[in-house]
């Protein structure tokens, strides 16, 4: 057997295919392969999702017919909380059915509060009796069919056209982290520079799908507090106390809080000066973002959204039931944390030289590898100050590249369709 035969054991492509691929550049071939891989993954998840829908359809076939045309409709807001780590994000995705919205819409349809997702318009869903009849108990109805880790806690009647997204006047995020070896005073000093209206392009993941993106946002308040909880106070190592970062503002960019946390943590460690926040907000001097790893998504909570003219209705009985559900979750997690802490205490007592005792901060809330999550230091390489690192492309360059790529893809698709 010749060397040529060994190198090419597979059957050659047909001549037409061979000619078609040979006309593409290396970048175009890589791009097409990535598209095909993504398409295969989408098809796999669509099959899984379809099976789940077929299963749900079989269950709903036994439900009694319901004439939505005879029911009055109203526009309402619903307030939920959920334990996000059990789901693949909040927003519905093509590649999975395990998102919070999938379960929410499933519950809304099962309780006949909406007919179908396509016609609900998301904001215009709901039915109620009018006149002297009693209000429907939306909270109780939805919680009866939702998973325990997703709970509806309140509802409000609002005017038609009011949007939960665009009419939100402010949002509050909370981020939780262990104190470890952090200097909280330095973090507070740096966080104070975030307050006000600024261009936060150096504190976010750039979304350049809009040809004229804006990164101007207003932050009204930032606080950093050390929390007091039972097993933290009994800890022999002061690094185990938990802390909370609270950020209140009018609106936020993609990954903005996680970027802010990453910068504040590096300042709290003493690796960066407290002036770093102020310097990164100076886009005249620093128009391009230095390379740095954003913080973990796990401790991030969208805690509250504020609206003008919205009066939330909370049913006391439903609240008591929801509190019971949360207490069970809390007890389960607290027991696990306490057991883990007891193991740590036992092992730490066996270390003779306390100077060699690992510091909690040697884990990493910033690194994304599987061995790190809730600490801060990266001991694998020497630390390079953020402002001396290579920078990412400018916003203008990324927008131009995105538009060029979009044009090329559209041209390629037109060529493929003509073939």
Which residues are marked as active site? 129
What 8-state DSSP symbol labels residue 392?
P
- Is the CB of residue 300 less than 8 Å from the CB of residue 175? yes
Angstrom distance (rounded) from CA 397 to CA 16: 37
Which three-class secondary structure state does DSSP give residue 9? coil
What 8-state DSSP symbol labels residue 205?
-
Q: What would the DSSP string read from start to end of 276-333?
A: HHHHHT-TTT--SPBP-PPPPSTTEEEEEEEETT---B--HHHHHHHHHHHHHHHHHH
How would you write 61-102 as a 3-class SS string? CCCCCCCHHHCCECCEEEEEEECHHHCCCCCCECCECCCHHH
User: Computed from CA positions of residues 380, 384, 390, 394, in that sequence, does the dihedral angle turn out positive or negative?
Assistant: positive
Instruction: With CA atoms as reference, report the closest residue to 297 among 94, 100, 101, 84.
Output: 84
Angstrom distance (rounded) from CA 60 to CA 52: 12
Find the farthest-apart pair of alpha carbons in the chain and give their distance in angstroms, rounded: 91
Instruction: With CA atoms as reference, report the closest residue to 53 among 92, 9, 19.
Output: 92
At residue 408, φ and ψ (nearest 5 deg) are -65, -45
CB atoms within 10 A of CB 323: 13
Which three-class secondary structure state does DSSP give residue 184? helix
CA 101-207-198 angle, to 5 degrees, is 110
Angstrom distance (rounded) from CA 162 to CA 124: 9
């Amino acid at each position: 057997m010749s060397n040529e035969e060994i190198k090419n054991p597979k059957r050659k492509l047909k001549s037409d295919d061979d000619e078609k691929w040979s006309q593409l550049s290396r970048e175009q071939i890589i791009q097409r392969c990535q598209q095909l891989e993504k398409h295969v993954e989408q098809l796999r998840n669509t099959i899984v999702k379809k099976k789940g829908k077929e299963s749900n359809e079989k269950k709903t076939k036994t439900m009694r017919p319901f004439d939505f045309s005879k029911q009055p409709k109203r526009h309402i807001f619903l307030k939920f909380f959920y334990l996000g780590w059990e789901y693949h994000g909040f927003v519905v995705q093509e590649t999975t059915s395990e998102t919070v919205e999938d379960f929410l819409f499933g519950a809304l349809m099962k309780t006949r509060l909406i007919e179908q997702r396509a016609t609900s318009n998301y904001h215009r869903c709901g039915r109620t009796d009018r006149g002297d009849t009693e209000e429907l108990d939306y909270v109780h109805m939805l919680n009866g069919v939702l998973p325990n880790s997703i709970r509806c806690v309140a509802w409000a009647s609002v005017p038609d056209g009011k949007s939960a997204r665009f009419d939100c006047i402010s949002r509050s995020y909370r981020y939780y982290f262990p104190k470890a070896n952090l200097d909280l005073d330095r973090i507070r000093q740096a966080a104070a520079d975030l307050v006000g209206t600024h261009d936060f392009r150096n504190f976010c993941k750039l979304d350049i799908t809009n040809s004229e993106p804006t990164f101007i946002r207003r932050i009204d308040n930032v606080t950093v507090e050390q929390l007091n909880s039972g097993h933290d106070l009994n800890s022999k190592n002061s690094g185990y106390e938990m802390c909370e970062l609270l950020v209140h503002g009018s609106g936020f960019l993609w990954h903005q809080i996680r970027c802010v946390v990453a910068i504040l943590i590096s300042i709290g460690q003493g690796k960066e000066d407290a002036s770093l926040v102020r310097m990164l907000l100076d886009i005249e001097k620093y128009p391009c973002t230095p390379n740095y790893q954003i913080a973990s998504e796990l401790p991030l909570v969208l805690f509250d959204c504020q609206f003008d003219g919205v009066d939330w209705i909370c049913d006391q009985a439903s609240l008591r039931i929801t509190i019971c559900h949360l207490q069970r979750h809390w007890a389960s997690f607290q027991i696990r944390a306490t057991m883990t802490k007891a193991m740590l205490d036992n092992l730490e007592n066996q270390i003779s030289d306390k100077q060699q005792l690992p510091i909690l901060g040697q884990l990493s809330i910033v690194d994304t590898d599987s061995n790190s999550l809730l600490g801060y230091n990266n001991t694998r390489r020497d630390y390079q100050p953020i402002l001396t690192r290579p920078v990412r492309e400018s916003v203008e360059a990324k927008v131009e590249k995105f538009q060029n790529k979009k044009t090329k893809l559209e041209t390629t698709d037109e060529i493929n369709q003509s073939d």
